[in-house]
Structure 1
Amino acid sequence: MPIKIPDQLPALSILGNENIFVMSEHRAANQDIRPMEMAILNLMPNKIETEVQILRMLSNTPLQINVDLVRIHANPSKNTPTSHLESFYRLFDDVKGKQYDGLIITGAPLGLMDYEDVSYWDKIQDVFDWAQNNVVSTMFLCWAAHAALYHHYGLNRQVRDQKLSGVYRHDVTKAHEKLTRGFDDEFWVPHSRYGEVTPEDYQSIPHLQILGQSAEAGVYLVASEDKRQVYVTGHPEYDPSTLDEEYRRDLAADLAPDIPVNYYRDNNPDNAPSSKWRSHGSLLFNNWINYYVYQITPYQLDAEHIQTSITGE
């Protein structure tokens, strides 16, 4: 089954050209099923690029998914046309009365800022709290993962002197966990961040489980025992070219970035990148939707039934 997105969203034609099954709103209106309701809170400056990446990851599930693209505020964007935002995005304040099966909160280029200095920190905290009562399972990506850990548990990240950038080998750390079902014992994930939370900090929270980590990149995948929170510190959704684009951008800004490790062939930025994480990324999103969303979400999606399905009462 496909994801359902607006008829004119650029991602529709991009993914269609990749032979990815997406369904327009017009076609979906003629089907009588209970689709999954998914919100993507997109905090990235280039929203079109990020929405395509995440929609691509969601597209391989056999379930039909209705997607709401959400933004945190109505401020003008330097990297996304206003017409695109007004046509395809809803403000969080306009959807907070709705309940969702799943929520994805993206990263944001805020790795060197204190959380309290972020202009929308109060608002993102409202989102974190709202999700506890109105969303079955939330996936936090990169900056959002560290921000949510700080908000919910007081775990503050350490800031690295040099940006962690590259594709790193990871190990599955908990056998027979549904979120990592089908993972190879070793798998690769892109990272692009300054922040880091230590394994000891994660382990200080009894109901958080480390499911994947790297000797070089640290903890990557963490989930709560009740499946309601999934923390992903890397970027399994990245396109093959994304790290290269970030590297070239930082070079042009005279930031003297390190060459992303394990990324370019022969570690030479004059060569093409080597993509080796896409199958893992697709499997991670599929497992999350199936085992952490679909398998526990109530058929009647409202706040009361969400709480009942989670507590079992």
Structure 2
Amino acid sequence: MPINIPRELPAKTILEKERIFVMDDLRAVTQDIRPLNIVILNLMPEKEKTETQLLRLLGNSPLQVNITLLYPATHETKTTSQIHLDQFYKTFGEIKHRKYDGMIITGAPIEHLPFEEVDYWPELVAIMDWAKTNVTSTLHICWGAQAGLYHHFGIEKYNLPQKCSGVFRHHLVDEPIKLLRGLDDQFCSPHSRHTDVHKEAIEQHPDLLLLSHSDEAGVYLVMSKDERFIFITGHPEYDAETLQQEYMRDLSKGLDIHMPAYYFPGDNPDNKPVKTWRSHAYLLFMNWLNYYVYQETPYIWE
């Protein structure tokens, strides 16, 4: 899928070097087709890294995608320059009059806080409520998944005794769900979080479907029964070295942190990590775009 992104966005150069099909505004206007409009609410601190990771996965289908990058106006970011935000990002107030085919809500390293104590929680609630009528399908990742499950369905998160960090094996629930088409019965995906949701709470909720879980990492993939909301508790978008960078960062802070599980070859942090979840991540995002965005969105939004 050619991704239509601003010519100056740093991710564009990185993706072109990886031979990911991207195009800028000038070329996009020459194509007489109806592109998908996807808004990404980026809550991660290092926004440029997350942009690249998500755009890489969205560039793997034969349709054109227009991307709108969004950040919470009620939060002061300390790790992304205001120049970058002003040049490439919108605020909710600037886009709330629009309709979008799909939306992605990223994770955020704030699991230790109760949802209501997050400074931009009221704004996030407004965005999630707006998405019910203005977005065809919303994909939630990690903390974004926990926030969505809590707001829409009342599913509480709970603190883990130690951080869940590593690349874990997951199992598919035996359901004929389009989102799961082509996925292996068992697959790997990274996790990086301090909180979790109870599997039993998902299974017992009348409006939710548990699609995948890990014996060690817990709930992984959840979908609302009306297929409007999809929740991923892990980080399939992560680069091979992301968990390594997080681990070294936490060690440098003197935190009592465990080495990411099943990640470093030979459990030796001196060894280069191997990305074992690439194909799973590509297929999962392609299934979401195809079956829950492209196939479901109206050609003309009323």
TM-score of Structure 1 vs Structure 2, range by shorter chain? over 0.9
The answer to whether 1:94 aligns with 2:99 is no
For 2:72 and 2:83, the matched residues in 1 are separated by 17
For 1:226 and 1:252, the matched residues in 2 are separated by 45
Give the equivalent residue in structure 2 for 1:244: 244
TM-score (ref. length: structure 2): 0.98
Task: Give, as a single letter, the amino acid of the residue that structure 2 aligns with 1:276.
Answer: T
Give the equivalent residue in structure 2 for 1:262: 262
Give the equivalent residue in structure 2 for 1:279: 279
For 2:163 and 2:202, the matched residues in 1 are separated by 21
For 2:92 and 2:176, the matched residues in 1 are separated by 36
Tell me the alpha carbon deviations over residues 263-303 of structure 1, each in whole angstroms, 9 at most, x when there is no partner: 0000111111121001100100000000011111110123x
Q: Aligned with 2:170: secondary structure?
A: strand
Tell me the CA shift for residue 77 of structure 1. Answer: 2.6
Give the equivalent residue in structure 1 for 2:20: 20
Task: Give, as a single letter, the amino acid of the residue that structure 2 aligns with 1:215.
Answer: D
The answer to whether 1:203 aligns with 2:203 is yes
For 1:76 and 1:149, the matched residues in 2 are separated by 25
For 1:128 and 1:65, the matched residues in 2 are separated by 21
Runs of 4+, deviation exceeding 6 Å? none
Is residue 223–residue 231 contact of structure 1 (8 Å, CA) maintained in 2? yes
Task: Give the aligned CA root-mean-square deviation in angstroms.
Answer: 1.0
Give the equivalent residue in structure 2 for 1:307: none
Q: Aligned with 1:12: secondary structure?
A: helix
Tell me the CA shift for residue 256 of structure 1. Answer: 1.8
Tell me the CA shift for residue 72 of structure 1. Answer: 1.0
Task: Give, as a single letter, the amino acid of the residue that structure 2 aligns with 1:237.
Answer: E
**What are the ranges of 5 or more consecutive residues in structure 1 without an aligned counterpart?**
303-313
Q: Aligned with 1:130: secondary structure?
A: helix
The answer to whether 1:167 aligns with 2:163 is no
**Percent of aligned pairs with the same residue?**
50
Give the equivalent residue in structure 2 for 1:310: none
Q: Aligned with 2:84: secondary structure?
A: helix
For 1:81 and 1:174, the matched residues in 2 are separated by 45
Give the equivalent residue in structure 1 for 2:233: 233
Task: Give, as a single letter, the amino acid of the residue that structure 2 aligns with 1:22.
Answer: V
Task: Give, as a single letter, the amino acid of the residue that structure 1 aligns with 2:27.
Answer: R
For 1:76 and 1:144, the matched residues in 2 are separated by 18
Q: Aligned with 1:56: secondary structure?
A: helix
For 1:25 and 1:204, the matched residues in 2 are separated by 46
Task: Give, as a single letter, the amino acid of the residue that structure 2 aligns with 1:205.
Answer: H
Question: Which 10-residue stretch deviates more, 102-111 or 219-228?
Answer: 219-228
The answer to whether 1:224 aligns with 2:224 is yes
Tell me the alpha carbon deviations over residues 182-238 of structure 1, each in whole angstroms, 9 at most, x when there is no partner: 011110000000111111111222121111110000110011122100000000000
TM-score (ref. length: structure 1): 0.95
**What are the ranges of 5 or more consecutive residues in structure 2 without an aligned counterpart?**
none
For 1:144 and 1:76, the matched residues in 2 are separated by 18
For 1:195 and 1:62, the matched residues in 2 are separated by 37
- The alignment of Structure 1 onto Structure 2 pairs a total of residues equal to 302
Is residue 22–residue 59 contact of structure 1 (8 Å, CA) maintained in 2? yes
Tell me the CA shift for residue 74 of structure 1. Answer: 6.1
For 2:55 and 2:83, the matched residues in 1 are separated by 20
Is residue 74–residue 91 contact of structure 1 (8 Å, CA) maintained in 2? no
